Structure 1
Amino acid sequence: MKKIIVLLSFISTGALVVAQTTPAGFNGKLPVIVAPKFKKDTTSIVKFGAVPDGNTLNTKAINNAIDACNKKGGGVVLVPAGLWLTGPIVLKSNVNLHLATGSTLLFTADKSQYPLVKANWEGLPQMRNQSPISATGVTNIAITGKGIVDGNGDGWRSVKSDKLTAGQWKKLVESGGVVSDDKKTWYPSEAFMKASRGPANPGEIKPERDAAYFAGIKDFLRPNMVLITECKYILLEGVTFQNSAAWCLHPLMSEHLTVRNIFVKNPWYAQNGDGIDVESCSNVLIENSVFDVGDDALCMKSGRDAEGRKRAMPTQNVIIRGCTVYASHGGFVIGSEMSGGARNMYISNCTFIGTDIGLRFKTTRGRGGVVENIFIKDIYMKDIPAEAILFDMYYMAKDPVPLLGEKRELPKVEVKPVDETTPVFRNFHISNVYCNGAAKGIFVRGLPEMHIKDIVLENMVLQADKGIDVQEASGITFKNIQIISADTNPVVDILNSDNISFDKITYKDGSEVLFRVSGDRVKNISIKNTNAANAKQKLLTEFGADVKEIKW
């Protein structure tokens, strides 16, 4: 790794510039992320009447403390040790909400305390319950310390019976709520169940939907736990964020976000229980943090479909390093709502253990948007139930790993016109990936009309049930990759792809088929520095593939 010296300095905002190092293999300049800086003045929420008994509702006291701190020019609002029950909290400029060791901000289960507000969900304007913690259009804010933020999300989410033990399911059903006719899903209320079965996006703001309509489906409109919208200079440090109703941390259309040394924890069965969703943000640093959640962990988004393209705000200039992910649908993820684009991201030194998919890049027709200039290195994985590395343009909005007995059909392959709704994945460089256990090492699946393009994957050891699967891709380089797969028929599968290069691929002795190449649109497959003699059959061509297009 190249070493550089970066001086810590202050800019006109009075905020601290975060030191960076340049990753190997990247010759450009890393983005500069600026962290907030606060006055040392400290005010305890106790001075405003807060009571730490887990029963007294402290919403007014905490918000009054934040308001007072903001009005006197900023500083620290202290949450001392204790169990502080509260409703929604709104952060203000120049305020650092500091949670002391032993403190828990417990958000009330009383849904009447969360008013319906205009918000955003997957890039669409939506009515939602107010987030437990929110900030809009403010500057220089933080949540720091060693305490816990608990969203009390269990009463907000629906749960599938297949995701619980028999005893857990029995206890949940007895707690209240309603169960679907097929006895497979628990809902917090009848209103929630009806809304979930109604038209798509029931919370979307439309002229024909009045206040009475939204009040009738209030239970369904789950809030993201921490929502930071159009803010600048943000710090999340040291705190445990847990048990959110929906996405846990959601910075939206914001700049200069620093996240370090946090722990994000949701039940593995939590519907939409994402760790952090960075949406349409610029200049982001996430480091040395741990995620154990019910959906994607480190997720980059930029809006969905036409609304995302109209917003036209990519998530860009992102550094992620030193993070650990346990349960989640994906470790580091881009998509599927990436219609505004995603670019210039630098991910390094991360560990994924038991994560459904390690590196997950997903989209589908209709999204549009360009994802490009993604640099990833030094990734360590263990016990990955699905793919270690996945690029997929046929995202179906389902869990990566099918539930027991669930059947899924392959997508229908058809060529469609290229227009603004066609997504693009290009220019990724992924190196130094080591995976001990996965269903598949690498899966790349583009669209016939828009291949996944210009990807370099090098220096990897992948122990997986299946090896490499490449479909509808162009300009992909595989270099110095060891595949240790149980299923060796084939080790590498290629379908309707072109300009694919394999350089120094090693595999298990006695493998049935080294390369299977299929489709009449296969062009220019290059294989070098690879000993094919250890396989029973080095090449199998099918479905119109021309053997002359494979060059050894």
Structure 2
Amino acid sequence: MIRPSFFAGLVLLALAGPSTSAQVAPLYSWSNLPKIAQPAFQKDTISILAHGAKPDGVTLNTGAINAAIRTCSQKGGGVVLVPAGLWMTGPIELKSNVNLHLKKSATLLFTTDKSQYALAEGVYEGKRAARNQSPLSGTNLENVAITGQGILDGNGDVWRAVHKSQLTESQWKEKIASGGVLKDDGKTWYPSEQFKKVSTENRSMLLTPEKPLSSFADMKDFLRPNLIVLTGCQKVLLEGVTFQNSAAWCLHPLMCQDLTIRNVTVKNPEYAHNGDGMDIESCKNFLIEGCTLDVGDDAICIKSGKDEEGRKRGMPTENGIIRNNTVYNGHGGFVVGSEMSGGARYIFVSNCTFMGTDKGLRFKSVRGRGGIVEHIYAKDIFMKDIAQEAIFFDLYYFVKFATDGQRDERPVVNEGTPVFRDMHFENIVCNGAEKGIFIRGLPEMAVKNINMENLVLVAEKGVELIDASGINLNNVKLVTKETKPVIYVENSSQLTFNAIQYPTKTGLLFKIDGGRSQAIRVTNTDTTTAETKAEFTHGAEEKQFTLAAKK
């Protein structure tokens, strides 16, 4: 499944400067969306009851369920039926041409007995790592599905630590009573003494030639598995089922092709560390539609490997449709990064609702990642009560600034320089956010060529653009409490603000900062209600700011 690296191409494109994509016909558009092939199955059905499974919530049905799946696949495929009941099980391995179908009121409850999960080589944030075997997995399969109206429950609470501040007093008392151990300061609960020791020592789970899998036995309890990992599979369908309580990420398709996730529910507690909903990593041709997510980390997330390993893999996540989804709790509704070193492109997001997420549309990376994220299109996005930014780009993910001078250092552009460019967002409404739009690129590599039109953003603060280029805001209504300024620009260029609406009696409409702020144009905007139209600081020049009369 691993294609030849396009590392050299990434370097050349990053060094090339402004994108020339406008001169090339796009591979896909809203009128020509990617096509995703669907799996098909024989009608033959095998019930797990036929292999001795018992729905009593106590019997460990691992052998029976896996035997039913193997038998079905060996006979040419079909449906493996999980009837109504509470089915306790250990790890399940999917096989080609099998549809694992959960009837309504059927729950696959994965055991809390960690000895059932073998130490296994896996992936953590795009890098080879020691993990426990995932509750449900499949590798290099074709024509596979998990469907129905049942529930897969990962029993994740027994795997993860939790801070006292994340729980109510009664929840905290219940957690302590369940077993486990406390951190020395009494503020963090760990599942075991081994987990505590590894966590406090900050030991790495990454595999290296010097640290083979066998050397991780003494930290096995710390190695939380993703609930579902499908690696290198083709024609995959997840439909109708509820996936919940994962120890780490919930759904993790990796290097898959022709993937459909339809009408599923993904649930994790708000305190679930790394409790992502869906991490679509290095996949090609995918559809995510009609899903509901309420999770502890990023909800619908696009990834493609981390740093050098991701660039060597050379597999972008591409040709995707994400539509008609609802996200409640989550660090971001639709997210790209931060592990996006293989790139992401031609992804179409539409008719999605984000209710109470930390951020809405979230794009994140950092120096050293590399990778090109481009041709991302979003329209008809509706948000309410976003805790932070509605639209967010940041190439300083997890970087703490000691001084402004440190941030403004400009290293040479190289293969580790991330590139975010050529995107179009339209028809976006947000009622409630800390900030409407935040874009922060790198001094050596601006976030560039981002077009946004027909936006209504109700937020504490309006727009902040730092190290950005080719940003076009057209027909944007900003309803902000902070009015000094409504729009802040720092060391950004080739900006167009057309038909901007803002609160009456605004104290300062634009603040332009930095000597690299150039070619800023404001058109079709009534600036007469602002006390001060623009202010220029730290080397910014008024001659770089053009205010055209409103037609």
Give the TM interval when normalised to the shorter protein.
over 0.9
For 1:125 and 1:211, the matched residues in 2 are separated by: 10
Identify if the C-alpha distance between structure 1 residues 333 and 397 changes in structure 2 by more than 3 Å, giving closer, same or farther. farther
Work out whether residues 120 and 213 of structure 2, in 8 Å CA contact, stay in contact via their aligned partners in 1.
Answer: no
Residue of structure 2 in register with 1:524 after alignment: 519
RMSD value over aligned CA atoms? 1.6
How far did 1:181 drift?
2.2
Q: Distance in 1 between matches of 2:170 and 2:396?
A: 36
Matched letter for residue 63 of structure 2: K
Matched, 1:498 2:498: no
What is the rounded CA distance, in whole Å, between the counterparts of 2:187 and 2:438 in structure 1?
A: 31
TM-score (norm 2): 0.92
Which of residues 447, 453, 471 in structure 1 aligns to 2:448? 453
Q: What's the CA shift for 1:174?
A: 2.5
Shift of 1:189: 1.4
CA–CA distance in structure 1, aligned partners of residues 423 and 82 of structure 2: 43
2:220 maps to a residue whose letter is K
Aligned to 1:129: 132
1:223 corresponds to: 225
TM-superposed deviation, 1:28: 6.0
Matched, 1:274 2:269: no
Pair 1:43 & 2:46 matched:
yes
Give, in whole Å, the separation in 1 of the partners of 2:106 and 2:232.
28
Counterpart code for 2:491:
N
In structure 2, do the counterparts of structure 1 residues 75 and 466 end up closer, same or farther at CA, with 3 Å as the change threshold? same
Could you tell me how far 1:30 is from its partner in structure 2?
1.4
**Shift of residue 209, structure 1, vs aligned partner:** 2.5
Q: Distance in 2 between matches of 1:213 and 1:423?
A: 34
- In structure 1, how many angstroms separate the alpha carbons of the residues matched to 2:190 and 2:390? 33
**Counterpart secondary structure, 2:363:** strand
How far did 1:199 drift? 4.8
Q: Which secondary structure state, in structure 1, belongs to the residue aligned with residue 170 of structure 2?
A: helix
Q: CA deviation at 1:166?
A: 2.1
Gaps of 5+ in 1: 1-24, 399-406
Percent sequence identity over matched residues? 57
Aligned to 1:338: 340
Q: Which among 487, 493, 505 is matched to residue 510 of structure 1?
A: 505
What displacement does 1:59 show?
0.1
Matched residues, number: 519
Aligned counterparts of 1:412 and 1:166: Cα–Cα separation in 2: 41
Shift of 1:419: 0.3
Q: Distance in 2 between matches of 1:158 and 1:241?
A: 20
Residue aligning to 2:324: 322
Q: 1:254 aligned to 252, 256, 264, which one?
A: 256
Aligned to 1:474: 469
CA distance in 1, matches of 2:376, 2:458: 24
1:381 to 375, 380, 383: 383
* C-alpha contact (below 8 Å) 2:139/2:230 kept by paired residues: yes
Partner of 2:239: 237
Report the AA paired with residue 276 of structure 1: M
Q: What code does the residue aligned with 1:48 have?
A: H
Once the two structures are TM-superposed, the CA of residue 185 in structure 1 deviates from its matched residue by: 1.9
Report 1:19-30 matches (<5 A): 26=29, 29-30=32-33
Which residue among 396, 410, 415 is the counterpart of 2:410? 415
Take 1:164 and 1:537, find their aligned partners in 2: how far apart are those partners?
47
Partner Cα distance (1:270, 1:413) in 2: 35
Distance 1:262 1:378, change over 3 A: same
Q: Structure 1 residues 397, 525: closer, same or farther in 2, change over 3 A?
A: closer
Give the corresponding residue for 1:141.
144
AA at the equivalent of 1:470: L
Give the superposition deviation at 1:118: 1.2
Residues 316-352 of structure 1 deviation map (CA, whole Å, 9 limit, x = unaligned) = 0000000000000000000000000000000000000
TM-score under structure 1 normalisation?
0.92
Q: Where does 1:306-317 land on structure 2 (aligned, <5 Å)?
A: 306-317=308-319
Q: CA deviation at 1:211?
A: 5.2
Aligned partner of 1:505: which letter?
I
Long gaps (5+) in structure 2: 1-27
Partner in structure 2 of residue 107 of structure 1: 110
Alignment of 1:390 onto 2:385: no
Code of the residue aligned with 1:217 in structure 2: it is M
Evaluate the alpha carbon distance shift between residue 184 and residue 417 of structure 1 in structure 2; reply closer, same or farther with a 3 A threshold. Answer: farther
The one-character-per-residue Cα deviations of 1:293-333 (angstroms, maximum 9, x if unpaired) are 00000000000001000100000000000000000000000
What amino acid is aligned across from residue 153 of structure 2 in structure 1? D
Q: How far apart are residue 193 of structure 1 and its match?
A: 2.0
Residue 40 of structure 1 and its aligned partner are, at CA, apart by 0.7
SS at match of 1:361: strand
| CA–CA distance in structure 1, aligned partners of residues 211 and 394 of structure 2 | 35
Deviations 1:105-148 (A, max 9, x none): 00000000000111111111111100000000010000000000
- Within 2, Cα distance between the matches of 1:532 and 1:483? 13
Quick one: structure 1 residues 39 and 27, their matched pair in 2 at CA, closer, same or farther if it must change by over 3 Å? closer
Q: Which structure ranks higher in relative contact order (CA pairs < 8 Å, sequence separation ≥ 6)?
A: 2
1:409, CA displacement in angstroms? 8.6
In 2, Cα distance between equivalents of 1:54 and 1:27: 47
Aligned to 1:175: 178
Residue 408 of structure 1: CA displacement?
Answer: 10
AA aligned to 1:232 is Q
Give the C-alpha shift of residue 261 in structure 1.
0.5
Rate the CA distance shift 1:211–1:29 in 2: closer, same or farther, 3 A.
closer
Cα distance in structure 1, aligned partners of 2:58 and 2:372: 49
Structure 1 distance, partners of 2:403, 2:110, is: 41
Query: 1:189-230: per-residue Cα shift (whole Å, max 9, x none)?
Result: 122122223356x22112332555311100111100000000
SS in structure 2 at match of 1:268: coil
SS across alignment from 1:417: coil
